[in-house]
Amino acid sequence: MKLPLPPTQAGANHSVRGVNYSTSPLLASKTPPWRSRFLVLLVGAAFSLLVGRALYVQVLQAEFFQKQGEARYASTLHLPANRGRIMDRHGQILAISVNAPTLTVNPRQFKATADQKRELATLLRLNPRELDGKLNEDSAYAVLRRQLDDGVAQQIKAMKMKGLVFEPGYLRRYPESEAAAHVVGFTDIEDKGQEGIEYAFQRQLQGNAGSRGVVKDRLGRIVEDLGDAVDPRDGRDVELTIDSKVQALAYQRIRDAVIEHKAKAGSVVVLDAQSGEILALANYPSYVPGERKNLSGNQLRNRAITDVFEPGSTVKPFVVGRALEDGLVRPETVLDTHPFKVGPLTVNDGEHGHPALSVSQIIQKSSNVGTVRISQRMDARTMGELYQSLGFGQKPQIGFPGTATGRLRPWKSWLPVEKATMAYGYGLSASLLQIARAYTAIARDGEMAPITLIKGGEPLPAARVFKPETARTLREMMRGTVSKDGTAPLAQPVGYSAGGKTGTAAKQEGRGYNNNKHRAWFSGFAPIDNPRVVVAVMVDEPTGVYYGGLVAAPVFKVVVEQALRSLGEQPDLDVKPQLVAQVSDGAPARR
């Protein structure tokens, strides 16, 4: 007889044997309809979301995502254009671009021995710690050195270190260095002009950069080109009227004069007397265009065209020329040159004055009194229009940055004392370039030349200032300035006739003048009969001797001699052996 099992045991045996699903109360109950519909709805919503996202990516924002995708594997390499050359009138190079690649590195790929890293740091002029900082960057690209010298680049390539990449680039070279720095200027690290011709003709010189599309792998290596490359278009050359030989000579001579006289600065302008072409614009102090560290405005300034000053006695020939032209005087006319007063001003010639001088002697001796006497024979309008016709108060149109306008007050506002001082160059201001240009009116038979710095450019029309006979008379009178009885015998070139005018003026400070600071200059031309060059010289704040005839005139002499020889001009005077004597302290004042 079998005993009945306990209920718990019986349930356990039943679960083991199996369950009758058809009779299970849990499974037999019906699923609510909303549950199945909810599941279908969820699946449909998810599908719709995927379709919407695909539509957004593939259609609505396809261009954006295409670019984002390409950015992960494609890039555009910049192909720099070769900057145009700057040349002098004979094709001599003043500025040129040479190969100077940019050295970059992929720090993730870089491999080198300790010795190679030390040598690399030395070649790049980096300290080891600085180099390690660049090599340990968490990126696939780092710049080690821009505008690397091509010779150094070849040395680094020979080391065959992995991870280094040389990108094409150029470096600007300036063969004439300091001598032509103020004319040519320089470029920055991005090869954009910052000063001089480099800045003024930036658009013409820079050219157009090219590009090349490439595919890179995850390590930054180029594995494929994309499409056609766009070749760079090199910049156009700029040819100047500058003569590099004359420029170098002018710079050397003004540098020596500034150093010799312990002056603050100096400038020289050399013009072709007939065409008005600028043959030289030299200044000292100067700078090396390729070395831009620690440059100051004092070095960068092209003083010959940016600095203005009262021209002093250099304007006297123009006043005399107008009086000759209008028949107010003749070269042999004798005038009283005793000191006299104009309003509150006492006009005098200092301790070296004369009781009477002819008009020719007034130029030769640089008499303030005689010049004012002559100016009193003409009205303010005549004198004001004379200065205007010479270009004073007007910016020279040479296309050079920073060209100064100078100052010339309207003649209607002149007081008698102002008219008197303007006769000998006080009360107006001009640059050395403006003075040189004004002297072409005397050098080319009364027509003032339109000056230019760019070779082959269209010149402006010449301006008639004097009649041809007046200009020739002035040249003969100004020959006396460089004679032994004139104010500048040291300006007489060997083998060439010359004429000119000295200038010495105290510098204006505030409302007065500092009698301890002067500018000395000389402006003239050679040869006399048919001048080929006009040369203007200015020395700022010479110490000790400061007269134009002693400081600036010797510079004029040497520059004229060398410039005329360089231009192939034959001597028009017999060359005789000469003894050069030291000028004593008691020599006549050089005004």
pLDDT tens per residue across span 141-162: 788 888 888 888 889 988 888 8
Q: Hey, CA dihedral for 99, 105, 109, 110, is it positive or negative?
A: positive
- Sequential DSSP letters for 380-410: HHHHHHHHHHTTTTS---S--TT----B---
Positive or negative torsion for Cα 38, 43, 47, 50: positive
Report the pLDDT value the prediction gives residue 227, as an integer from 0 to 100.
Answer: 64
Architecture of domain 244-566: 3-Layer(aba) Sandwich (3.40)
Q: Is the pLDDT of residue 581 over 50?
A: no
The tokens for 356 are: 């009477």
SS3 for 193? strand
Of 359, 489, 521, 358, the C-alpha closest to 425 is 521
- Residue range 163-177: average pLDDT? 88
Residue 401, token pair as written in the block: 């940055």
Q: Which residues make Cβ contacts (< 8 Å) with residue 513, sequence separation at least 6?
A: 506, 507
User: For tokens 């000395």, what's the residue?
Assistant: 520
**Number of Cβ within a 10 Å radius of residue 387:** 22
Render pLDDT for 238-267 as a digit per residue (tens, 0 to 9): 999 999 999 999 999 999 999 999 999 999
Mean pLDDT of the chain: 86
| pLDDT, greater one: 166 or 252 | 252
Dig out the tokens for 505 from the structure: 């003026």
Residue 69 has pLDDT above 90, yes or no: no
pLDDT at 1: 47
- The phi and psi torsions of 540 (rounded to 5 degrees) equal -95, 120
Q: Residue 7 is which amino acid?
A: P
SS3 280: strand
- Sign for the CA dihedral angle at 369, 373, 378, 380 comes to positive
The residue to which tokens 């002018």 are assigned? 250
> Which residues are 128's β-sheet partners?
none
Higher-pLDDT residue of 533, 298:
533
Asked whether the predicted pLDDT for residue 6 surpasses 60, the reply is: no
Asked whether the predicted pLDDT for residue 585 surpasses 60, the reply is no
> Residue 86: left if φ>0, alpha if ψ -120 to 50, beta else—which one?
beta
Considering only residues 32 and 193, tell me which one the structure prediction assigns the higher pLDDT. 193
The answer to whether residue 576 scores a pLDDT higher than 90 is: no
Report pLDDT for 507.
87
Contact residues for 564 (Cβ-Cβ < 8 A; gap 6+): 493, 496, 526, 527, 532, 533
DSSP 8-state class, residue 495: T
Residue count of the chain, please give it: 591
Q: Give the CATH class of 101-166.
A: alpha beta
Residue with tokens 């038979």: 445
For residue 281, give the nearest of 387, 183, 156, 419 by alpha carbon: 183
Q: Which helix (H) or strand (E) element contains residue 74?
A: strand 74-79
Q: Are 97 and 170 in contact (CB under 8 A)?
A: yes
The 3-state DSSP class for residue 491 equals: helix
Closest by CA to 503, choosing from 263, 315, 282, is 315
Domains 74-90+169-240 and 101-166 share a fold: yes
pTM of the model: 0.80
3-state secondary structure 503-554: EEEEEEECCEEEEEEEEEEEEEEECCCCCCEEEEEEEECCCCCCCHHHHCHH
Residue 575 has pLDDT above 80, yes or no: no
Query: Which of 200-204, 300-304, 452-456, 584-588 comes out lowest in average pLDDT?
Result: 584-588
Provide the percentage of residues in the chain whose pLDDT is more than 70: 87
Q: Give mean pLDDT, residues 71-95.
A: 82
Q: Are 73 and 140 in contact (CB under 8 A)?
A: no
User: Residue 92: its pLDDT value, please?
Assistant: 95
Q: Report the sign of the C-alpha dihedral through residues 153, 155, 160, 163, in that order.
A: negative
Q: Which pLDDT band holds residue 588 (cuts at 50, 70, 90)? A: very low
Is the pLDDT at 167 greater than 60, yes or no?
yes
C-alpha torsion sign, points 490, 494, 499, 500: negative
Of all residues in the chain, the percent with pLDDT exceeding 90 is 55
What is the rounded distance in angstroms from the CA atom of residue 497 to the CA atom of residue 234?
Answer: 47
pLDDT confidence of residue 286: 94
CATH architecture, domain defined by 74-90+169-240: Alpha-Beta Complex (3.90)
pLDDT at 538 over 60: yes
Separation CA 174–CA 186 (nearest Å)? 9
Determine the pLDDT at residue 81: 81
212 φ, ψ (degrees, to nearest 5): -145, 120
Beta partners for 346?
A: 341
List the single range of 5-9, 346-350, 409-413 with lowest mean pLDDT.
5-9
Q: Does residue 374 contact residue 322 with C-beta atoms inside 8 Å?
A: no
Least confident of 167-176, 255-264, 366-375: 167-176
- Residues annotated as catalytic (active site), given as ranges: 313
Predicted pLDDT at 342:
94
DSSP state of 350: G
Q: Given a cut of 50, is residue 10 above it in pLDDT?
A: no
Q: Is the pLDDT of residue 462 over 90?
A: no
d(CA 537, CA 551): 9
**Would you list the domain boundaries of the chain?**
74-90+169-240, 101-166, 244-566
| 374 pLDDT higher than 50 | yes
Model confidence at 223, pLDDT cuts 50, 70, 90, reads: low
pLDDT the model gives residue 583: 46
| Phi–psi pair at 57, nearest 5 degrees | -75, -45
- Location of structure tokens 């072709």: 272
Does the pLDDT at position 496 exceed 90? yes
Reported as a pLDDT band with limits 50, 70 and 90, residue 178 is very high
Q: Is the pLDDT of residue 175 over 60?
A: yes
pLDDT at 68 over 80: no
For residue 325, the surrounding DSSP H or E stretch is helix 316-325
- Are 582 and 346 in contact by the 8 Å Cβ rule? The answer is no
Taking residues 499-528, report their average pLDDT: 90
201: phi then psi, degrees, rounded to nearest 5: -115, 35
Residues near 520 by Cβ (< 8 Å), separated by ≥ 6? 502, 503, 504, 538, 539, 542, 546, 547, 548, 550, 551, 552
- Categorize the per-residue pLDDT at 586 as very low, low, confident or very high, splitting at 50, 70 and 90: very low
pLDDT at 412 over 50: yes
CA 285, distance to chain mean position in Å, is 15
Instruction: Average the pLDDT over each of 212-221, 319-328, 330-339 and give the range with the smallest value.
Output: 212-221
pLDDT per residue as tens digits for the range 16-67: 455 555 566 655 566 677 777 888 888 888 888 888 888 876 778 777 767 6
